[in-house]
Structure 1
Amino acid sequence: MNFKLLMFYHSALFLISMAFNSGPWHFLMLTAAQLFFVPLALLLVTNKENFFYRHYFFIAPPALLAVCLLQITGSTKWDGVLAFLYLLYTLLVAWTGLQRFLHRGFSDLEEFALDVAMIFLAIGGAWFFAYEAGLETGFSPIITWLTGIHFHYSAFLLPVFVGFLGRSTKTRVYKIACTLILINPVVLAFGITFSRWLEFFSVLLYIFAIYSLIYLTFKTPFFSSWQKWLVRLSFGSLGITILFSLLYAYGNAFGANSANIGFMLQFHGFFNAVGFALCGFIGWAVHPPSPNAIKKGFPVSGIRGRQTVGQQLVTDYTDPTKTYACLVDDMAAYGPAINLKTLPFVIRDFYENTDRYRLFAEVQWHAWFKPFAGIFRLLSRHMQQLNLPLSNKQIEMTGSITALDQAADGRTHPRAWLRKIDEEVVFVALYSIHQTKDRAYMNVALPLPGSSMIGILELEQQDEKLLLTSCGDAASDAGIYLTVSRYLFKLPLGERFLLEEMHSGCLRAIHEMRIFSLPFLTINYVIEPKDESKG
């Protein structure tokens, strides 16, 4: 696909629309996004594996010709039909973004920004359709149109440019700024609909994020001086125009006549289209940064749960020809991450002779998450999986380890560790091990109805303690994933399991869970040898 030739065609289509435009001049700012910036930016984002890229010449031309006709024909009875063609186009783009996301999940923030941009474009398409078809939205026609243009520039082009920047830098500042850019279109929409104060607050968030991005453009290496200065000019232009948005939001919140819609169209809109969008597009098109995301290829358990998991799943997949009494056959398999000479013997013995130990647990749900835990408890009791109590009282978890059918599971030497409180199933975890390059990972599957949650854990020795964690670097397999059908989706969850010897023969373990980096669950374990407890 010749990108330069496509740029020529899209430029010609926009120039035709501009030359024969029958509407107000400011309509051309949205037309520029629809005919030039958006479709060409999509070609920079997608590749031959994507549906949109492979079928571009079937998807894009009808929609873009429809937009062109809307600009040169004026108001006709066919406006709704033509706008609907463009809406279908944006829905197909959103579907492509969703597919990208489902194949990867939350593993790479910069790629997630590109996914969100593609999904948000459909919202812009819907508002454009509502305007052209004359649908009642609860807002004036100009506000409906402005919402459409907002979702083309601020909710599509801006996340795309931020995603490209993130392929070159992944600092903490970037992560914060990118997150704000992604959530703010929704915050701003709620503000416009329900609260002028929230609208004003959302603009302040935009200002913080945009000026953080401007700072990053001076810290990030670029392919060439041309690219460097065009990208800086793009974000710098946005840093100026966002101040117009602040004046407008301030006027709405405090009743001051600081900036009206006419002023916003003349200055804010024009500079966004030329300074931000055009400079940014050319800057990134000079040399689009390659994605850093690494496709995971580790083995995944093929066992899936039904509506009820529990004991029945273990029975269904038991291998009667084998028996296991441990989670790990030999901890030496995890070397060199651990040193068996300095690791306390009891930690090694717990994993290699798990059936010889008793587990006592205190489940601590964090206060902010308790309402969600109560709702989930209603489901988990029926499912007999992830079925943790709401009480923080110390209780004993009894367990048994069963060999599983390796052909059904698909991993090496799989085994199920079934844990109960009294006679109620709490966990059904399917254990295995896999190796990527020179590192071994604990590969744990928790079957769910029609799916499975996969925990890939790195082992790391910390003096005389052993840490199992799902938090690794970009090249690591570590993480918590959900597998459904052919999708392997990284979840925004983090897991940390720290074991240490309390006194001779006894262990203490702290199991921490986080969602979007927020702690929501802590389980404190005391692990004792069965013989010692009986004595």
Structure 2
Amino acid sequence: MKAGSHLNSSNTLIVGGVILFLTNCFLTTEPYFLLLTAAQQILVPMTLQLIMELNKKQIIFIWTGLFSVLLLQVITIHTGQMILSIIYLLFTLTVALSGLRRFLKRGFVNWAEISIDIGMMYLFMGGIWFFIHINGINTGFSHMLNWLTAIHFHYSAFILPVSIGLFGRIHTSKLYNILVPIILAAPMLVAVGITFWPLLEFISVIFYIFGIYGLIYLAMKTKFPAFLQGLLIRISYSSLGVTILFSLIYSVGRAFGKWYVTLDFMLIFHGLVNCLLFGLLGIIGWAIHLPKTKQPAWSFPVSNIRGQLTPENTAKSGLVDDLSMFVDIRRLPPMIVDFYEHTDKYRLFAAVHWAGWFKPLLLIYKPVSRLIQQLNLPVSKQVVEMNGTILSVNEALDGRNSPRAWIRKVNGRTVFTAIYSSHKTQGRAYMNIALPLPFSTMIGILKLDCITDTLELSSTGGEDPGIYLAIGTWLFRLPLSENFVIEQTTKRELTAIHKMKLFGVPFLKIDYRIITRDEAKQIN
């Protein structure tokens, strides 16, 4: 991915796009259609050069897409129009797949890069609606509405998300993390509203306004690498602040039948401002100094095991050989240290609590977890014993340091198979846990901290911690987080609480009671 570079005015792709666009200007009989053509032949290629290292094949494919748009003005027979629109559709699909690949290499982390990914994927929607528009496919909507939806996905859903993604490389704040998902969701909501429900269009425009004006506010207070860049980006975002108000007025007319601005006015004013001030000036602004991505590549070791695990017969005593490599054990009760270093001496009793909102999903989740014998937790809150064994795993097969599998069962059924290992990043040791899944592995990177005589294991904080999915060589961060707190409540007993969240929303809690096997015999 390029960084710190700029677009060259002599770049053949850009100059060629401008020439093709000017040719279109002489050929078209309906000038307002040029608003979409400008995006297709000038703005989209310029944007792609900001976010992709284009190879020769990709450049050729872009040229093919640009020429297909021009030839649509020349070739009027239906078969030719369909073939050319398919070519452009395939071009947008290629961009979308590139965005998907970017996303799968990183996952749910870094809103700036996610915004760029989704913008690239949205472009395919623009290609679909352009195909519908060119071929006159009956969607139940007017020819004009099909075209408006196509232009919407080129500007609001592609160029804007890419722009705010680049902005996120130089600005980080909690407000930015709130605004980005709002702005990313708005194009789809507006499109659905335009197509099916004008009231939804009105409501989504309200959210869009909040997102856009929040973005303007952040741009005004952010220091850009270059003065001219800051000026152009602020003009670009501010122009959206003007056009979005007219979109609101227009959506009021569609929703309530009170027309204050006409469609012709929207096409001329709204279209030209978005094309020239928002699109062109914004892209030139980012081209002046392209910010570097802040997302580092994952560098920690990942288990090579995919699918079902076949452990060795050699037993291991604990989940770790020495807990002191993770934390200062002098700050912990000896029993907690002993549990991790001699886990086989202990018995675990667990009560599983599923969040109410997640319980309907158990109808799908539970049969799958039972089939693969992984994450196969009970549905009931009833206390059950988890019988565990710890076996060594072939280090050459796994690829990590000293792996060992902790296999836990309830009533004879396997509920967890977790392969424990560790790694160090910048001098700090992390637990590196792999849960084999069909054709993949879930990876949990946990940091350990001592907090007032308790041990906390968490997948949040820092660069490495998180929950990931490894498929082949791809490592994808999942929108999951976990927190595990263990403490000694009596001289002979430990308790632990394991909490998990999905997109920041709690969905699972497990209460553990942990006692030694000798203590259990005395109780019995």
TM-score, normalised via structure 1 length: 0.93
Preserved CA contact (<8 Å) 1:377 1:387: yes
Indicate the residue corresponding to 2:497 in structure 1. 510
Preserved CA contact (<8 Å) 1:184 1:205: yes
1:32 pairs with 2:19 = no
1:22 pairs with 2:28 = yes
Measure the CA separation in 2 of the matches of 1:364 and 1:263: 57
1:529 pairs with 2:521 = no
Measure the CA separation in 2 of the matches of 1:59 and 1:435: 43
2:482 aligns with one of 490, 495, 498: 495
**Could you tell me how far 1:9 is from its partner in structure 2?**
3.0
1:394 pairs with 2:378 = no
Mark the CA change 1:528 to 1:317 in structure 2 (over 3 Å): closer, same or farther. Answer: closer
* Deviations 1:218-275, CA, capped at 9 Å, x for gaps: 2222111101111111111001101111111111221212233222112211111112
Preserved CA contact (<8 Å) 2:388 2:407: yes
Counterpart of 1:402, as a letter, is: L
Indicate the residue corresponding to 1:8 in structure 2. 15
Preserved CA contact (<8 Å) 1:96 1:118: yes
The total of aligned residue pairs comes to 514
Indicate the residue corresponding to 1:240 in structure 2. 242
2:48 aligns with one of 42, 52, 56: 42
* Residues 93-104 of structure 1 aligned to structure 2 (within 5 Å): 93-104=95-106
What SS does structure 1 have at the residue aligned with 2:261? coil
Counterpart of 1:17, as a letter, is: N
**Could you tell me how far 1:34 is from its partner in structure 2?**
0.5
**Could you tell me how far 1:54 is from its partner in structure 2?**
4.8
Measure the CA separation in 2 of the matches of 1:295 and 1:353: 35
* Deviations 1:263-318, CA, capped at 9 Å, x for gaps: 2112211111112111211111111111111001211111122xxx4xxx3xx231
Report the aligned-residue RMSD.
Answer: 1.6
**Could you tell me how far 1:75 is from its partner in structure 2?**
4.1
Indicate the residue corresponding to 1:274 in structure 2. 276
Instruction: Give the ranges of 4+ consecutive aligned residues of structure 1 lying more than 3 Å apart after TM superposition.
Output: 74-77
Counterpart of 2:364, as a letter, is: I
Preserved CA contact (<8 Å) 2:445 2:464: yes
Q: Which stretch has the larger CA shift, 444-453 or 464-473? A: 464-473
1:346 pairs with 2:335 = yes
What SS does structure 2 have at the residue aligned with 1:467? strand
Measure the CA separation in 1 of the matches of 2:248 and 2:75: 33
Measure the CA separation in 2 of the matches of 1:415 and 1:127: 53
Preserved CA contact (<8 Å) 1:111 1:163: yes
Indicate the residue corresponding to 1:207 in structure 2. 209
Measure the CA separation in 1 of the matches of 2:306 and 2:357: 31
Preserved CA contact (<8 Å) 1:43 1:53: no
Measure the CA separation in 2 of the matches of 1:395 and 1:219: 55
Counterpart of 2:439, as a letter, is: G
1:457 pairs with 2:459 = no
Measure the CA separation in 1 of the matches of 2:7 and 2:294: 24
Counterpart of 1:302, as a letter, is: N
Preserved CA contact (<8 Å) 1:196 1:249: yes
What SS does structure 1 have at the residue aligned with 2:157? helix
What SS does structure 2 have at the residue aligned with 1:494? strand
**Could you tell me how far 1:74 is from its partner in structure 2?**
7.3
Q: Which stretch has the larger CA shift, 255-264 or 209-218? A: 255-264
* Residues 442-453 of structure 1 aligned to structure 2 (within 5 Å): 442-453=431-442
What SS does structure 1 have at the residue aligned with 2:10? helix
Indicate the percent of aligned positions where both proteins have the same amino acid.
Answer: 47
Measure the CA separation in 2 of the matches of 1:3 and 1:85: 27
**Could you tell me how far 1:324 is from its partner in structure 2?**
0.6
What SS does structure 2 have at the residue aligned with 1:300? coil
Measure the CA separation in 1 of the matches of 2:7 and 2:190: 38
Measure the CA separation in 2 of the matches of 1:520 and 1:342: 31
Counterpart of 2:474, as a letter, is: Y
Counterpart of 2:484, as a letter, is: F
Preserved CA contact (<8 Å) 1:22 1:74: no
Indicate the residue corresponding to 2:220 in structure 1. 218
